[in-house]
Structure 1
Amino acid sequence: MAASYHSRSNSLPSRQHPIVSQIDENLNRLRASQSASTSSSIGHNLSGLRDLHECVDVLLQFPLTQQALAQEKQREMVEELLDGSLMLLDVCTTAKDALLQTKECTQELQSIFRRRRGAEGLANEFRKYLTSRKAMKKAICKALKNLKHIQNKLSTPGENGAVISVLRDVEAVTISVLESVLSFISGPEAESKSSRWSLVSKLMHQKKVMREEEQKANEILSAEAAVRSCIKSENMKHVENVQKELQSSELSIQDLEEGLETLSRRMIKTRVTVLNIISC
Protein backbone atom coordinates (compact mmCIF):
# COMPACT_ATOMS: atom_id res chain seq x y z
CA MET A 1 0.00 0.00 0.00
CA ALA A 2 1.38 3.38 -1.01
CA ALA A 3 0.26 5.26 2.06
CA SER A 4 0.88 3.88 5.50
CA TYR A 5 -1.40 3.98 8.50
CA HIS A 6 -1.08 7.25 10.35
CA SER A 7 -1.90 8.06 13.94
CA ARG A 8 -4.57 10.73 14.18
CA SER A 9 -3.57 13.96 15.86
CA ASN A 10 -5.65 16.73 17.38
CA SER A 11 -6.19 18.16 13.89
CA LEU A 12 -9.06 15.67 13.73
CA PRO A 13 -12.01 15.09 16.03
CA SER A 14 -11.21 12.78 18.95
CA ARG A 15 -10.32 9.19 18.07
CA GLN A 16 -13.37 8.25 20.11
CA HIS A 17 -15.58 10.17 17.69
CA PRO A 18 -17.72 7.66 15.72
CA ILE A 19 -16.79 9.05 12.30
CA VAL A 20 -13.04 8.73 12.95
CA SER A 21 -13.52 5.16 14.13
CA GLN A 22 -15.63 4.36 11.05
CA ILE A 23 -12.96 5.72 8.73
CA ASP A 24 -10.26 3.63 10.41
CA GLU A 25 -12.44 0.51 10.33
CA ASN A 26 -13.31 0.97 6.65
CA LEU A 27 -9.67 1.57 5.74
CA ASN A 28 -8.53 -1.56 7.56
CA ARG A 29 -11.32 -3.65 6.04
CA LEU A 30 -10.45 -2.55 2.50
CA ARG A 31 -6.72 -3.09 3.07
CA ALA A 32 -7.44 -6.62 4.26
CA SER A 33 -9.39 -7.43 1.09
CA GLN A 34 -6.95 -6.13 -1.54
CA SER A 35 -6.67 -9.58 -3.12
CA ALA A 36 -10.35 -9.56 -4.17
CA SER A 37 -10.64 -11.15 -7.62
CA THR A 38 -14.28 -12.25 -8.01
CA SER A 39 -17.14 -10.03 -9.13
CA SER A 40 -18.90 -10.41 -5.77
CA SER A 41 -15.82 -9.56 -3.68
CA ILE A 42 -14.91 -6.62 -5.91
CA GLY A 43 -18.51 -5.39 -5.77
CA HIS A 44 -18.35 -5.63 -1.99
CA ASN A 45 -15.16 -3.55 -1.99
CA LEU A 46 -16.76 -0.92 -4.22
CA SER A 47 -19.60 -0.68 -1.73
CA GLY A 48 -17.13 -0.41 1.15
CA LEU A 49 -15.18 2.27 -0.69
CA ARG A 50 -18.36 4.26 -1.25
CA ASP A 51 -19.10 4.04 2.48
CA LEU A 52 -15.56 5.23 3.24
CA HIS A 53 -15.98 8.29 1.02
CA GLU A 54 -19.30 9.03 2.72
CA CYS A 55 -17.51 9.01 6.08
CA VAL A 56 -14.82 11.31 4.72
CA ASP A 57 -17.44 13.74 3.50
CA VAL A 58 -18.90 13.86 7.01
CA LEU A 59 -15.41 14.45 8.42
CA LEU A 60 -14.93 17.35 6.03
CA GLN A 61 -17.92 19.14 7.55
CA PHE A 62 -16.15 19.62 10.90
CA PRO A 63 -14.78 23.17 11.40
CA LEU A 64 -11.51 21.77 12.75
CA THR A 65 -11.04 19.69 9.59
CA GLN A 66 -11.82 22.64 7.34
CA GLN A 67 -9.39 24.88 9.22
CA ALA A 68 -6.63 22.30 8.79
CA LEU A 69 -7.19 22.01 5.03
CA ALA A 70 -7.43 25.76 4.55
CA GLN A 71 -3.96 26.39 6.00
CA GLU A 72 -1.57 27.85 3.44
CA LYS A 73 1.16 25.35 4.34
CA GLN A 74 -1.17 22.49 3.34
CA ARG A 75 -2.16 24.02 0.00
CA GLU A 76 0.37 22.12 -2.11
CA MET A 77 -0.62 18.75 -0.63
CA VAL A 78 -4.33 19.51 -0.98
CA GLU A 79 -3.90 20.46 -4.63
CA GLU A 80 -1.89 17.29 -5.24
CA LEU A 81 -4.72 15.23 -3.74
CA LEU A 82 -7.25 17.09 -5.88
CA ASP A 83 -5.18 16.31 -8.98
CA GLY A 84 -5.13 12.67 -7.91
CA SER A 85 -8.88 12.62 -7.35
CA LEU A 86 -9.45 13.98 -10.85
CA MET A 87 -7.29 11.22 -12.32
CA LEU A 88 -9.16 8.63 -10.25
CA LEU A 89 -12.46 9.92 -11.63
CA ASP A 90 -11.02 9.55 -15.14
CA VAL A 91 -10.08 5.95 -14.28
CA CYS A 92 -13.64 5.36 -13.03
CA THR A 93 -14.93 6.65 -16.36
CA THR A 94 -12.58 4.32 -18.25
CA ALA A 95 -13.80 1.36 -16.19
CA LYS A 96 -17.45 2.29 -16.74
CA ASP A 97 -16.88 2.74 -20.48
CA ALA A 98 -15.12 -0.64 -20.67
CA LEU A 99 -17.99 -2.35 -18.86
CA LEU A 100 -20.56 -0.65 -21.09
CA GLN A 101 -18.67 -1.64 -24.23
CA THR A 102 -18.35 -5.25 -23.05
CA LYS A 103 -22.02 -5.35 -22.07
CA GLU A 104 -23.15 -3.99 -25.43
CA CYS A 105 -21.05 -6.57 -27.29
CA THR A 106 -22.38 -9.29 -25.00
CA GLN A 107 -25.98 -8.25 -25.61
CA GLU A 108 -25.38 -8.07 -29.35
CA LEU A 109 -24.06 -11.63 -29.39
CA GLN A 110 -27.01 -12.82 -27.33
CA SER A 111 -29.37 -11.12 -29.77
CA ILE A 112 -27.66 -12.87 -32.69
CA PHE A 113 -28.01 -16.22 -30.90
CA ARG A 114 -31.75 -15.64 -30.58
CA ARG A 115 -32.10 -14.86 -34.29
CA ARG A 116 -29.99 -17.75 -35.57
CA ARG A 117 -29.96 -21.49 -35.15
CA GLY A 118 -26.71 -23.43 -34.81
CA ALA A 119 -23.12 -22.27 -35.01
CA GLU A 120 -22.89 -21.55 -38.73
CA GLY A 121 -21.81 -18.03 -39.61
CA LEU A 122 -21.05 -16.98 -36.06
CA ALA A 123 -17.27 -16.84 -36.40
CA ASN A 124 -17.29 -13.26 -37.74
CA GLU A 125 -19.52 -12.12 -34.89
CA PHE A 126 -17.21 -13.75 -32.37
CA ARG A 127 -14.21 -12.02 -33.92
CA LYS A 128 -15.97 -8.65 -33.63
CA TYR A 129 -16.49 -9.36 -29.95
CA LEU A 130 -12.81 -10.22 -29.46
CA THR A 131 -11.67 -7.16 -31.45
CA SER A 132 -13.78 -4.95 -29.21
CA ARG A 133 -12.29 -6.61 -26.12
CA LYS A 134 -8.77 -6.03 -27.46
CA ALA A 135 -9.39 -2.30 -27.94
CA MET A 136 -10.92 -2.06 -24.49
CA LYS A 137 -7.88 -3.73 -22.91
CA LYS A 138 -5.59 -1.08 -24.43
CA ALA A 139 -7.62 1.65 -22.73
CA ILE A 140 -7.47 -0.23 -19.44
CA CYS A 141 -3.70 -0.70 -19.74
CA LYS A 142 -3.35 3.09 -20.01
CA ALA A 143 -5.64 3.58 -17.00
CA LEU A 144 -3.55 1.16 -14.94
CA LYS A 145 -0.44 3.20 -15.77
CA ASN A 146 -2.23 6.33 -14.58
CA LEU A 147 -3.07 4.60 -11.30
CA LYS A 148 0.58 3.66 -10.88
CA HIS A 149 1.52 7.31 -11.45
CA ILE A 150 -0.85 8.45 -8.68
CA GLN A 151 0.43 5.70 -6.41
CA ASN A 152 4.03 6.78 -6.92
CA LYS A 153 3.14 10.33 -5.91
CA LEU A 154 1.50 9.04 -2.74
CA SER A 155 4.72 7.20 -1.92
CA THR A 156 6.65 10.48 -1.76
CA PRO A 157 7.49 11.17 1.90
CA GLY A 158 6.58 14.48 3.50
CA GLU A 159 5.31 16.21 6.60
CA ASN A 160 1.54 15.85 6.46
CA GLY A 161 -1.12 16.97 8.89
CA ALA A 162 -3.61 14.43 10.19
CA VAL A 163 -6.35 15.43 7.74
CA ILE A 164 -4.02 15.15 4.75
CA SER A 165 -2.84 11.77 6.03
CA VAL A 166 -6.43 10.51 6.14
CA LEU A 167 -7.11 11.74 2.62
CA ARG A 168 -3.91 10.12 1.35
CA ASP A 169 -4.90 6.83 2.98
CA VAL A 170 -8.32 7.03 1.35
CA GLU A 171 -6.77 7.78 -2.04
CA ALA A 172 -4.42 4.81 -1.64
CA VAL A 173 -7.20 2.28 -0.99
CA THR A 174 -9.23 3.84 -3.81
CA ILE A 175 -6.33 3.11 -6.16
CA SER A 176 -6.18 -0.48 -4.91
CA VAL A 177 -9.89 -1.12 -5.44
CA LEU A 178 -9.91 0.45 -8.90
CA GLU A 179 -6.88 -1.64 -9.89
CA SER A 180 -8.82 -4.78 -8.98
CA VAL A 181 -11.81 -3.58 -11.02
CA LEU A 182 -9.71 -2.89 -14.11
CA SER A 183 -7.82 -6.18 -13.82
CA PHE A 184 -11.12 -8.06 -13.46
CA ILE A 185 -12.53 -6.45 -16.61
CA SER A 186 -9.45 -6.97 -18.79
CA GLY A 187 -7.79 -10.02 -17.28
CA PRO A 188 -4.20 -10.27 -16.00
CA GLU A 189 -2.58 -9.43 -19.34
CA ALA A 190 -3.07 -5.67 -19.01
CA GLU A 191 -1.44 -5.54 -15.60
CA SER A 192 1.51 -7.79 -16.46
CA LYS A 193 2.15 -6.74 -20.05
CA SER A 194 4.98 -4.35 -19.22
CA SER A 195 6.94 -7.08 -17.44
CA ARG A 196 6.23 -10.05 -19.71
CA TRP A 197 9.83 -10.43 -20.83
CA SER A 198 11.05 -10.93 -17.27
CA LEU A 199 9.09 -14.16 -16.81
CA VAL A 200 11.18 -17.25 -16.21
CA SER A 201 10.31 -20.26 -18.38
CA LYS A 202 9.96 -22.66 -15.45
CA LEU A 203 7.06 -20.57 -14.14
CA MET A 204 5.05 -20.72 -17.36
CA HIS A 205 3.13 -23.86 -16.45
CA GLN A 206 2.24 -22.44 -13.05
CA LYS A 207 1.11 -19.22 -14.68
CA LYS A 208 -1.11 -21.13 -17.11
CA VAL A 209 -2.79 -23.03 -14.28
CA MET A 210 -3.34 -19.81 -12.32
CA ARG A 211 -4.84 -18.12 -15.37
CA GLU A 212 -7.26 -20.99 -15.90
CA GLU A 213 -8.36 -20.67 -12.27
CA GLU A 214 -8.80 -16.90 -12.71
CA GLN A 215 -11.00 -17.47 -15.73
CA LYS A 216 -13.25 -19.82 -13.78
CA ALA A 217 -13.74 -17.16 -11.09
CA ASN A 218 -14.16 -14.30 -13.58
CA GLU A 219 -17.38 -14.28 -15.59
CA ILE A 220 -16.06 -11.83 -18.18
CA LEU A 221 -12.90 -13.85 -18.83
CA SER A 222 -14.92 -17.07 -18.90
CA ALA A 223 -17.14 -15.62 -21.62
CA GLU A 224 -14.12 -14.51 -23.64
CA ALA A 225 -12.49 -17.94 -23.28
CA ALA A 226 -15.73 -19.62 -24.37
CA VAL A 227 -15.90 -17.41 -27.47
CA ARG A 228 -12.31 -18.27 -28.40
CA SER A 229 -13.03 -22.00 -28.02
CA CYS A 230 -16.13 -21.70 -30.15
CA ILE A 231 -14.23 -20.02 -33.00
CA LYS A 232 -11.99 -23.08 -33.19
CA SER A 233 -14.80 -25.65 -33.20
CA GLU A 234 -18.13 -24.05 -34.20
CA ASN A 235 -20.23 -26.89 -32.82
CA MET A 236 -23.48 -26.64 -30.88
CA LYS A 237 -21.97 -27.75 -27.60
CA HIS A 238 -19.57 -24.82 -27.57
CA VAL A 239 -22.25 -22.38 -28.76
CA GLU A 240 -24.48 -23.35 -25.86
CA ASN A 241 -21.56 -22.82 -23.48
CA VAL A 242 -20.93 -19.36 -24.95
CA GLN A 243 -24.58 -18.43 -24.38
CA LYS A 244 -24.40 -19.53 -20.76
CA GLU A 245 -21.13 -17.68 -20.11
CA LEU A 246 -22.41 -14.51 -21.77
CA GLN A 247 -25.46 -14.49 -19.52
CA SER A 248 -23.28 -14.82 -16.41
CA SER A 249 -20.94 -12.13 -17.73
CA GLU A 250 -23.78 -9.67 -18.25
CA LEU A 251 -25.02 -10.12 -14.68
CA SER A 252 -21.57 -9.45 -13.19
CA ILE A 253 -21.12 -6.42 -15.46
CA GLN A 254 -24.39 -4.89 -14.26
CA ASP A 255 -23.37 -5.25 -10.61
CA LEU A 256 -19.98 -3.62 -11.22
CA GLU A 257 -21.55 -0.81 -13.25
CA GLU A 258 -23.86 0.06 -10.39
CA GLY A 259 -20.99 -0.01 -7.88
CA LEU A 260 -18.77 2.24 -10.00
CA GLU A 261 -21.58 4.71 -10.68
CA THR A 262 -22.43 5.21 -7.00
CA LEU A 263 -18.73 5.41 -6.11
CA SER A 264 -17.95 8.04 -8.75
CA ARG A 265 -20.87 10.20 -7.59
CA ARG A 266 -19.59 10.01 -4.02
CA MET A 267 -16.02 10.84 -5.13
CA ILE A 268 -17.28 13.88 -7.04
CA LYS A 269 -19.12 15.11 -3.95
CA THR A 270 -16.00 14.73 -1.79
CA ARG A 271 -13.89 16.56 -4.38
CA VAL A 272 -16.37 19.45 -4.55
CA THR A 273 -16.39 19.69 -0.75
CA VAL A 274 -12.59 20.00 -0.62
CA LEU A 275 -12.59 22.58 -3.43
CA ASN A 276 -15.17 24.65 -1.55
CA ILE A 277 -13.10 24.50 1.65
CA ILE A 278 -9.89 25.81 0.08
CA SER A 279 -11.77 28.42 -1.97
CA CYS A 280 -13.30 30.14 1.07
Structure 2
Amino acid sequence: MACHTRSLSLPNRTHSFVLKAEEELNKLRACVAYPSLSYEIILDAVKAVGHVYECMNDLLCISSNQISLSHLQQRRQIDEELEESIKLLDICSISRDNLDIFKSHIQDLELAIRRGESKSMKSTARDYTILVKKANKDLRKQIAKKSESADKDSSTVFSLLFETRQITISLLQSIFSYLSQQIVSEKSSNWSLVSRLMERRRIVCEGEFDIACLRVNVEALENGLENLFRNLIQCRVSLLNLSSL
Protein backbone atom coordinates (compact mmCIF):
# COMPACT_ATOMS: atom_id res chain seq x y z
CA MET A 1 0.00 0.00 0.00
CA ALA A 2 1.36 3.42 -0.84
CA CYS A 3 2.10 5.94 1.87
CA HIS A 4 2.40 9.55 0.68
CA THR A 5 4.35 12.14 2.59
CA ARG A 6 2.41 15.30 3.40
CA SER A 7 4.87 18.17 3.82
CA LEU A 8 2.35 20.32 5.68
CA SER A 9 1.76 17.77 8.41
CA LEU A 10 5.27 17.92 9.84
CA PRO A 11 7.80 20.67 10.54
CA ASN A 12 10.51 21.03 7.90
CA ARG A 13 13.28 19.78 10.15
CA THR A 14 11.59 16.38 10.52
CA HIS A 15 11.65 15.65 6.78
CA SER A 16 14.97 13.81 7.00
CA PHE A 17 13.40 11.26 9.35
CA VAL A 18 10.42 10.85 7.02
CA LEU A 19 12.67 10.39 4.00
CA LYS A 20 14.79 7.84 5.85
CA ALA A 21 11.69 5.90 6.89
CA GLU A 22 10.29 6.04 3.35
CA GLU A 23 13.61 4.76 1.96
CA GLU A 24 13.48 1.72 4.22
CA LEU A 25 9.79 1.18 3.49
CA ASN A 26 10.43 1.22 -0.26
CA LYS A 27 12.79 -1.74 0.20
CA LEU A 28 10.30 -3.51 2.43
CA ARG A 29 7.40 -3.05 0.01
CA ALA A 30 9.39 -4.92 -2.62
CA CYS A 31 10.21 -7.70 -0.16
CA VAL A 32 6.71 -8.46 1.06
CA ALA A 33 5.41 -8.51 -2.51
CA TYR A 34 6.98 -11.96 -2.98
CA PRO A 35 5.04 -15.03 -1.74
CA SER A 36 8.21 -16.78 -0.53
CA LEU A 37 11.32 -15.12 0.86
CA SER A 38 14.80 -16.44 1.55
CA TYR A 39 16.32 -16.37 5.01
CA GLU A 40 18.75 -13.58 4.08
CA ILE A 41 15.98 -11.35 2.74
CA ILE A 42 13.76 -11.99 5.79
CA LEU A 43 16.55 -11.16 8.23
CA ASP A 44 17.49 -7.97 6.36
CA ALA A 45 13.82 -6.97 6.27
CA VAL A 46 13.41 -7.49 10.03
CA LYS A 47 16.40 -5.20 10.60
CA ALA A 48 14.97 -2.63 8.16
CA VAL A 49 11.63 -2.60 10.02
CA GLY A 50 13.54 -1.90 13.21
CA HIS A 51 15.19 1.07 11.52
CA VAL A 52 11.81 2.40 10.43
CA TYR A 53 10.53 2.29 14.01
CA GLU A 54 13.66 4.11 15.13
CA CYS A 55 12.78 6.88 12.66
CA MET A 56 9.19 6.91 13.91
CA ASN A 57 10.40 7.23 17.48
CA ASP A 58 12.63 10.16 16.50
CA LEU A 59 9.65 11.84 14.83
CA LEU A 60 7.42 11.36 17.85
CA CYS A 61 10.09 12.67 20.22
CA ILE A 62 10.65 15.98 18.44
CA SER A 63 8.96 18.57 20.64
CA SER A 64 7.60 20.70 17.78
CA ASN A 65 6.11 17.62 16.19
CA GLN A 66 4.57 16.58 19.51
CA ILE A 67 2.71 19.88 19.64
CA SER A 68 1.27 19.41 16.15
CA LEU A 69 0.23 15.82 16.87
CA SER A 70 -1.34 16.58 20.23
CA HIS A 71 -4.17 18.64 18.73
CA LEU A 72 -7.69 17.28 19.20
CA GLN A 73 -7.78 16.23 15.54
CA GLN A 74 -4.91 13.81 16.22
CA ARG A 75 -6.07 12.49 19.60
CA ARG A 76 -8.16 9.70 18.09
CA GLN A 77 -5.24 8.56 15.94
CA ILE A 78 -2.92 8.52 18.95
CA ASP A 79 -5.39 6.40 20.95
CA GLU A 80 -5.90 4.00 18.05
CA GLU A 81 -2.16 3.64 17.50
CA LEU A 82 -1.61 2.93 21.18
CA GLU A 83 -4.18 0.14 21.00
CA GLU A 84 -2.63 -1.31 17.85
CA SER A 85 0.86 -1.09 19.32
CA ILE A 86 -0.18 -3.39 22.16
CA LYS A 87 -1.48 -5.97 19.68
CA LEU A 88 1.73 -5.83 17.65
CA LEU A 89 3.88 -6.14 20.78
CA ASP A 90 1.92 -9.26 21.76
CA ILE A 91 2.35 -10.79 18.30
CA CYS A 92 6.06 -9.99 18.23
CA SER A 93 6.59 -11.34 21.75
CA ILE A 94 4.77 -14.61 20.98
CA SER A 95 6.74 -15.00 17.75
CA ARG A 96 10.02 -14.42 19.58
CA ASP A 97 9.10 -17.00 22.25
CA ASN A 98 8.17 -19.51 19.56
CA LEU A 99 11.57 -19.09 17.92
CA ASP A 100 13.20 -19.94 21.23
CA ILE A 101 11.12 -23.12 21.43
CA PHE A 102 12.01 -24.02 17.83
CA LYS A 103 15.69 -23.52 18.62
CA SER A 104 15.42 -25.97 21.52
CA HIS A 105 13.89 -28.63 19.25
CA ILE A 106 16.57 -28.06 16.62
CA GLN A 107 19.23 -28.59 19.30
CA ASP A 108 17.52 -31.86 20.26
CA LEU A 109 17.57 -32.88 16.60
CA GLU A 110 21.28 -32.09 16.37
CA LEU A 111 21.91 -34.33 19.36
CA ALA A 112 19.85 -37.16 17.88
CA ILE A 113 21.80 -36.88 14.60
CA ARG A 114 25.15 -37.09 16.38
CA ARG A 115 23.98 -40.17 18.27
CA GLY A 116 22.47 -41.74 15.17
CA GLU A 117 19.10 -42.19 16.86
CA SER A 118 16.76 -42.46 13.90
CA LYS A 119 13.60 -42.84 15.99
CA SER A 120 14.43 -39.74 18.01
CA MET A 121 15.28 -37.84 14.83
CA LYS A 122 11.86 -38.57 13.34
CA SER A 123 10.05 -37.78 16.58
CA THR A 124 11.87 -34.48 17.09
CA ALA A 125 11.34 -33.45 13.46
CA ARG A 126 7.64 -34.25 13.78
CA ASP A 127 7.35 -32.22 17.00
CA TYR A 128 9.16 -29.30 15.36
CA THR A 129 6.77 -29.35 12.42
CA ILE A 130 3.69 -29.50 14.66
CA LEU A 131 4.95 -26.52 16.63
CA VAL A 132 5.65 -24.47 13.49
CA LYS A 133 2.19 -25.24 12.12
CA LYS A 134 0.60 -24.25 15.44
CA ALA A 135 2.61 -21.01 15.48
CA ASN A 136 1.41 -20.26 11.95
CA LYS A 137 -2.19 -20.93 12.95
CA ASP A 138 -1.95 -18.76 16.07
CA LEU A 139 -0.35 -15.95 14.09
CA ARG A 140 -3.16 -16.04 11.53
CA LYS A 141 -5.71 -15.72 14.34
CA GLN A 142 -3.91 -12.67 15.68
CA ILE A 143 -3.65 -11.12 12.22
CA ALA A 144 -7.40 -11.61 11.70
CA LYS A 145 -7.85 -8.96 14.39
CA LYS A 146 -5.84 -6.35 12.46
CA SER A 147 -7.12 -2.81 12.14
CA GLU A 148 -8.84 -1.22 9.18
CA SER A 149 -7.01 0.80 6.55
CA ALA A 150 -5.37 4.06 7.55
CA ASP A 151 -7.58 7.12 7.40
CA LYS A 152 -6.89 9.19 4.29
CA ASP A 153 -6.65 12.24 6.55
CA SER A 154 -4.03 10.65 8.81
CA SER A 155 -0.85 12.61 9.39
CA THR A 156 2.40 11.40 7.88
CA VAL A 157 3.54 9.81 11.14
CA PHE A 158 0.41 7.70 11.57
CA SER A 159 0.29 6.73 7.90
CA LEU A 160 3.87 5.51 8.18
CA LEU A 161 3.15 3.68 11.42
CA PHE A 162 0.14 1.95 9.88
CA GLU A 163 2.06 0.71 6.84
CA THR A 164 5.06 -0.37 8.91
CA ARG A 165 2.77 -2.37 11.18
CA GLN A 166 1.23 -4.22 8.22
CA ILE A 167 4.67 -4.97 6.77
CA THR A 168 5.88 -6.21 10.17
CA ILE A 169 2.99 -8.68 10.35
CA SER A 170 3.71 -9.89 6.81
CA LEU A 171 7.36 -10.48 7.74
CA LEU A 172 6.38 -12.50 10.81
CA GLN A 173 4.28 -14.69 8.53
CA SER A 174 7.26 -15.08 6.19
CA ILE A 175 9.47 -16.17 9.09
CA PHE A 176 7.20 -19.08 10.01
CA SER A 177 6.58 -19.96 6.38
CA TYR A 178 10.36 -20.21 5.88
CA LEU A 179 10.87 -22.31 9.04
CA SER A 180 8.06 -24.70 8.13
CA GLN A 181 9.89 -25.68 4.94
CA GLN A 182 13.31 -26.38 6.41
CA ILE A 183 12.86 -29.92 7.71
CA VAL A 184 9.69 -31.17 6.07
CA SER A 185 8.96 -30.91 2.37
CA GLU A 186 5.93 -28.68 1.81
CA LYS A 187 4.56 -31.08 -0.83
CA SER A 188 5.14 -34.29 1.08
CA SER A 189 4.27 -35.78 4.44
CA ASN A 190 7.63 -37.55 4.49
CA TRP A 191 10.43 -36.27 6.68
CA SER A 192 12.62 -35.70 3.61
CA LEU A 193 15.68 -34.35 5.41
CA VAL A 194 15.45 -36.92 8.19
CA SER A 195 15.14 -39.76 5.67
CA ARG A 196 18.29 -38.60 3.89
CA LEU A 197 20.12 -38.35 7.19
CA MET A 198 19.68 -42.07 7.78
CA GLU A 199 20.91 -43.23 4.37
CA ARG A 200 24.68 -43.04 4.84
CA ARG A 201 27.31 -41.26 6.91
CA ARG A 202 28.28 -38.64 4.31
CA ILE A 203 24.71 -37.43 4.06
CA VAL A 204 24.43 -37.52 7.85
CA CYS A 205 27.39 -35.13 8.05
CA GLU A 206 25.80 -32.86 5.45
CA GLY A 207 22.48 -32.99 7.25
CA GLU A 208 24.11 -32.24 10.58
CA PHE A 209 25.66 -29.15 9.00
CA ASP A 210 22.26 -28.13 7.54
CA ILE A 211 20.57 -28.44 10.94
CA ALA A 212 23.36 -26.44 12.58
CA CYS A 213 22.86 -23.71 9.98
CA LEU A 214 19.12 -23.73 10.68
CA ARG A 215 19.80 -23.28 14.40
CA VAL A 216 22.11 -20.33 13.68
CA ASN A 217 19.45 -18.82 11.39
CA VAL A 218 16.76 -19.16 14.05
CA GLU A 219 19.05 -17.54 16.62
CA ALA A 220 19.67 -14.60 14.26
CA LEU A 221 15.93 -14.19 13.62
CA GLU A 222 15.27 -14.38 17.36
CA ASN A 223 17.84 -11.61 17.96
CA GLY A 224 16.26 -9.57 15.16
CA LEU A 225 12.83 -9.86 16.76
CA GLU A 226 14.29 -8.96 20.14
CA ASN A 227 15.70 -5.76 18.70
CA LEU A 228 12.41 -5.04 16.92
CA PHE A 229 10.53 -5.64 20.17
CA ARG A 230 12.69 -3.02 21.92
CA ASN A 231 12.05 -0.54 19.12
CA LEU A 232 8.31 -1.15 19.40
CA ILE A 233 8.41 -0.51 23.15
CA GLN A 234 10.32 2.74 22.64
CA CYS A 235 7.80 3.84 20.04
CA ARG A 236 4.90 3.03 22.37
CA VAL A 237 6.52 5.01 25.19
CA SER A 238 6.81 8.00 22.86
CA LEU A 239 3.13 7.64 21.94
CA LEU A 240 2.19 7.50 25.63
CA ASN A 241 4.20 10.66 26.26
CA LEU A 242 2.46 12.26 23.32
CA SER A 243 -0.98 11.33 24.64
CA SER A 244 -0.21 13.03 27.95
CA LEU A 245 0.54 16.44 26.38
* Equivalent runs, 1:130-145 vs 2, <5 Å: 130-145=126-141
Matched residue type, 1:236:
R
- Structure 2 counterpart of 1:71: 71
Q: CA deviation at 1:269?
A: 0.6
Deviation per residue, 1:181-209 (Å, 9 max, x gap): 23223349xxxxxxxxxxxxxxxxxxx9x
What's the TM-score once normalised by structure 1's chain length? 0.74
Partner secondary structure for residue 149 of structure 1: coil
* Equivalent runs, 1:86-101 vs 2, <5 Å: 86-101=86-101
- Structure 2 counterpart of 1:167: 161
* Equivalent runs, 1:108-119 vs 2, <5 Å: 108-114=108-114, 116=115, 119=116
Distance in 2 of aligned mates of 1:124 and 1:167? 45
- Structure 1 counterpart of 2:10: 12
Q: 2:225 is matched with which residue: 260, 263, 276?
A: 260
Question: For the Cα contact (< 8 Å) 2:108–2:124, is it kept in 1?
Answer: no
In structure 2, relative to structure 1, the CA distance for the partners of 1:53 and 1:16 (3 Å cut) is closer
- Structure 1 counterpart of 2:19: 21
Distance in 1 of aligned mates of 2:8 and 2:21? 16
Distance in 1 of aligned mates of 2:241 and 2:74? 15
In structure 2, relative to structure 1, the CA distance for the partners of 1:161 and 1:274 (3 Å cut) is same
In structure 2, relative to structure 1, the CA distance for the partners of 1:186 and 1:72 (3 Å cut) is farther
Distance in 2 of aligned mates of 1:171 and 1:87? 10
Distance in 2 of aligned mates of 1:16 and 1:276? 18
- Structure 2 counterpart of 1:38: 38
* Equivalent runs, 1:51-66 vs 2, <5 Å: 51-66=51-66
Percent identity between the two aligned chains: 29
What's the TM-score once normalised by structure 2's chain length? 0.84
Partner secondary structure for residue 12 of structure 2: coil
* Equivalent runs, 1:259-278 vs 2, <5 Å: 259-278=224-243
Distance in 1 of aligned mates of 2:75 and 2:181? 39
Q: CA deviation at 1:59?
A: 0.9
Distance in 2 of aligned mates of 1:7 and 1:261? 29
- Structure 2 counterpart of 1:250: 215
Partner secondary structure for residue 17 of structure 1: helix
- Structure 2 counterpart of 1:149: 145
In structure 2, relative to structure 1, the CA distance for the partners of 1:186 and 1:78 (3 Å cut) is farther
Question: For the Cα contact (< 8 Å) 2:31–2:45, is it kept in 1?
Answer: yes
Q: 2:200 is matched with which residue: 236, 239, 253?
A: 236
Where structure 2 has 5 or more consecutive residues not aligned to the other structure, the ranges are: none
Aligned length: 238
Q: CA deviation at 1:53?
A: 0.9
Question: For the Cα contact (< 8 Å) 2:38–2:178, is it kept in 1?
Answer: yes
Distance in 1 of aligned mates of 2:80 and 2:142? 14
